[in-house]
Structure 1
Amino acid sequence: MKWPSVRSRRRRVEELLTNQQEATMTESKGTTTTASTDPDAISWLRSTLHSVDQRCTNLQTDLKKAQQDCLTLDGSRRGLAACLANQEEALGSLRQELVRTTLANQTMTNEKVEMQRKLEEKDRQIADLRRQLAAKDRVMETQRAVLEEASHNFTPALRAKLDKNISTMDARRNQYREELHVAREALSSLRSNFRGNDPNHHTLDTLEQCMAFLLERIAGPDTLDMTSSSASQSTLIQRHSNDTLKRSNINGYHGDQFTKVVYFTERTVTPFLTVIPRRLGEISLRDFKTLFDRPGVYRFHFKAQDAEYGFVKEEIADDNMILPGFDGKIIAWVEEIQV
């Protein structure tokens, strides 16, 4: 609703006052012409003029009140306009929040649909796994029934025969172990007759490994277990290392003047351990070839640390190149080249 301005209302009141004054003067002129000399007419005119002045005063008072009301209404109008602007701003914020909430609701709905799809897929997988498990249970029940039937059919005579075979295999296993122990003692006695850098030590190691392998193949897979084999290999390496260290100390080299060298070949599973009477960082490929004096053409790889790939097998062909070390020793792989 648009309120009339203060000026327009004031103009209307002034026009009303002007019209009333003109009408009063017209009446007074007519009366003066008719009774200008009558004293009663003069007093009537005076009373009339007094009443007109009083009316003018009242109208002016009403005009001021109207002006004050107009100012009050104008202030109220401005306050209402400010409140309306605030409400429109709040309404805009609510609309934006409604849009964001709608988008979030749509996103959650899409996620809910996706989760339901994944849940259905997982349910199908679980159902498939349950079917597979049921099938395996049936197979296990069948095998259990067959096993129970076989155990019922297993007569005491067959059990006695099986026990006899087991005892025979145990006796044969003990015999093979004793023979292997005697052979290893003979090889150890023969090893003590060679010098520390004698290449015949490698031949003895190969011979010992071949004997253990042949006995295992003859006696069966259960004859020599992995524990005894690992123990024998570690004992072999330790004994070879101790013998070599003793011979090195006898020849005048101390513990800080030699370097352990562990190398692998294609013919044996057990690594070879020897000692070079030099410090780590002073041993070249020529020194290693002097130690590894076997006929043939070989390629030499050594364990080294690379900044990008970590631990690698570094191939070295230059005789003057210094060999890399790892954990205070040299680890090498020797590959024979067929010519």
Structure 2
Amino acid sequence: MEEAKKMISGLQALLLNGSLPEDEQERAFVLSEQEGCPEEQVIIIRSRLDQSMEENQELKKELQKQKQEARSLQGVKDALQQRLAQQDALILQIKQELLRANMDKEELHSQNTDLQRKVEDRNRLLAEYKKELGQKDRHLHQHQAKMEEVLRQLSEASYQQVIVYSNHSSQSNGFLQTSGKGAVSTAHRGTNDLQLVREALRSLRNSFSGHDPQHHTIDSLEQGISSLMERLHRMEMQKRQERRISIRLESTFRELPHSHSTPAMSSSACTKVLYFTDRSLTPFMVNIPKRLGEVTLRDFKAAIDREGTHRYHFKALDPEFGTVKEEVFHDDDIIPGWEGKIVAWVEEDHGEN
């Protein structure tokens, strides 16, 4: 329809002016011709008015189109400006992150420097600790050598004591009293040696810290020395008992020279118990008329007969840690033994637990 309107407008211009609108470049606009009747002039004027109106509509449409294009361009411009502002904000954020990263890098560098300094200090402390450990090892070897020397002296003293006992077993009663005095002096010398050993162990224990694993070795050594002294004491008691039995047998045979019968020795199952208290370094000894492995905590309490509340620890052998102190709580529990006897520690319970 638009193309048809344009063709009709062109035909009207051709009929009225004798030329097309494209051919009219700069022609003065004349409302009416000088020649002709008024009706023709009115028709011509109306035709030109219609043509002008068509051109005006086309110009309006073109103007509207240009305005729409201008709006779209303005929208594109605003979008580009907004995107440019976003990019500027993003660049500013990236710069801030870069600055923060540089600050973190400097902080990490300072922390790395501090860690290197701490590592150097720790290495220096480790070197000092190694030096101290070397000194402690040397002291430990020296104390071990002293302990071996003391143990050797103790073994020699025990051997000499056994020889003295064997020599005195063939003497008379008066001579036995003299030998008893010598045994007392030998036992006193053994007690002095044990005291020296304990003082050496105490000085060795003081040279280590509270959580040093060498304390376990010192405990084992002290328990071994105590066991050796107990064995010596048991050998001494056995020798004395043998001497008394031999003396009694000799006197019996002298009184009954024509008797061919031997006295009957009735022996009952009995367990020797040695126990220490926190108020005495010398152990106490009692006998319980039961076999080892059948003695309960109730039997032990009845044998020692001590008032108050106590805690009971017994010497035992653990497959993993070796010699330990095992605590027994219930009265019906079986007490562990150690080398054919029971070794116990009785401590007063002040109600802390």
Please confirm whether the aligned pair reaches a TM-score higher than 0.5, indicating the same fold. no
Higher relative contact order at CA 8 Å, sep ≥6: structure 1 or structure 2?
Answer: 1
- TM normalised by structure 2 equals 0.32
